[in-house]
């Protein structure tokens, strides 16, 4: 396939080998499909956050674009910047532990009326997001599923969804820097991003 001027990235998809510019709208539709599934599920029950749910979200969102990868934990070892996530063979075990740990942390959140609720919620969201990305369970789209997971947590708490702005190069750099600091045990920057997102969400309800 001849490369188009200005295109630097191509992906082999269910629609053929396409440039990044054509993939972006498919990705946006995919995450909307997954979010629509979450909203339908939430109408009948509190959503149990399990490895099976996360794989289902990834499947709904991306299998129609990448049939061989969507809905499956990665089968390769990867490196993300300087971070080496767990070996792929450890991912199912790590994700089971992660979901159990997350459920326990949510169970110990104070009530919304408690003065400490917001502080502990921010700490929880930052921990949940970073820990999920640290494991890097899927070969691709971990960030999108991780951000969707944040909103499932909030939905279960009867709180409005938030948006971590990562679309522009500057905001993307801020987000990646916050995650890298969290890799080093410095969670403040990532917590600040969640605090800003929660404040922004509160303004529109």
> By three-state DSSP, how is residue 18 classified?
strand
Q: How far apart are CA 109 and CA 124, in angstroms?
A: 9
Is 3 contained in some domain?
no
Q: How far apart are CA 198 and CA 24, in angstroms?
A: 26
Residue 155: which CATH number?
1.10.3290.10
pLDDT, tens digit (0-9, with 9 covering 90-100), for 9-52: 899 999 999 999 999 999 999 999 999 999 999 998 899 999 99
Q: Catalytic positions, please?
A: 136
List the structure tokens of 12. 């082999």
pLDDT-wise least confident of 85-89, 116-120, 158-162, 200-204:
200-204
Per the CB < 8 A criterion, the answer to whether 71 and 56 are in contact is yes
Per the CB < 8 A criterion, the answer to whether 26 and 13 are in contact is yes
Is 2 contained in some domain?
no
Tell me, what DSSP letter sits at residue 46? P
> By three-state DSSP, how is residue 16 classified?
strand
Looking up tokens 């972006």, which residue turns up? 24
Can you name the residues that pair with 19 across neighbouring β-strands? 10
pLDDT-wise least confident of 48-57, 103-112, 166-175:
166-175
Is 4 contained in some domain?
no
Per the CB < 8 A criterion, the answer to whether 65 and 27 are in contact is yes
| Residue 167 structural domain | 10-203
- pLDDT at site 2: 42
Q: Which residue has the higher pLDDT, 166 or 163?
A: 163
Per-residue confidence band for 1, with pLDDT thresholds at 50, 70 and 90 = very low
pLDDT surpassing 80 at residue 8: no
SS3 content of the chain, % helix, strand, coil (to 5): 60, 5, 35
**In total, how many domains does the chain have?**
1
Is 1 contained in some domain?
no
Can you name the residues that pair with 83 across neighbouring β-strands? 80
Is 5 contained in some domain?
no
Per-residue confidence band for 3, with pLDDT thresholds at 50, 70 and 90 = very low
pLDDT surpassing 70 at residue 5: no
pLDDT surpassing 50 at residue 4: no
Looking up tokens 């109408």, which residue turns up? 43
What integer is the mean pLDDT of 3-10?
Answer: 58
pLDDT, tens digit (0-9, with 9 covering 90-100), for 64-123: 999 999 999 999 999 998 899 999 999 999 999 999 999 999 999 999 999 999 999 999
């Amino acid at each position: 396939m001849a490369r188009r001027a200005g295109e630097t990235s191509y992906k082999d998809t269910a629609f053929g080998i396409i440039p990044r510019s054509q993939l972006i709208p498919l990705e946006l539709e995919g995450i909307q499909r997954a979010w629509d599934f979450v909203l339908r599920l939430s109408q009948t029950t509190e959503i149990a956050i399990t490895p099976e749910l996360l794989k289902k979200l990834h499947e709904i969102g991306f299998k129609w674009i990448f049939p061989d990868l969507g809905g499956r934990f990665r089968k390769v070892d990867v490196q993300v910047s300087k971070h080496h996530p767990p070996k792929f063979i450890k991912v199912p075990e790590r994700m089971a532990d992660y979901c159990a740990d997350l459920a326990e942390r949510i169970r110990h959140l104070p009530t919304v009326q408690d003065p400490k609720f917001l502080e502990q919620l921010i700490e929880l969201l930052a921990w949940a997001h970073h820990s999920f990305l640290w494991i890097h369970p899927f070969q691709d789209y971990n960030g999108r599923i991780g951000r969707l997971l944040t909103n499932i947590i909030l939905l279960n708490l009867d709180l409005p969804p938030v948006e971590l702005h990562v679309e522009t190069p500057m905001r993307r750099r801020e987000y990646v820097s916050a995650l890298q600091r969290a890799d080093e045990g410095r969670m403040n920057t990532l917590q600040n991003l969640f605090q800003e997102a929660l404040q922004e969400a509160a303004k529109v309800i």
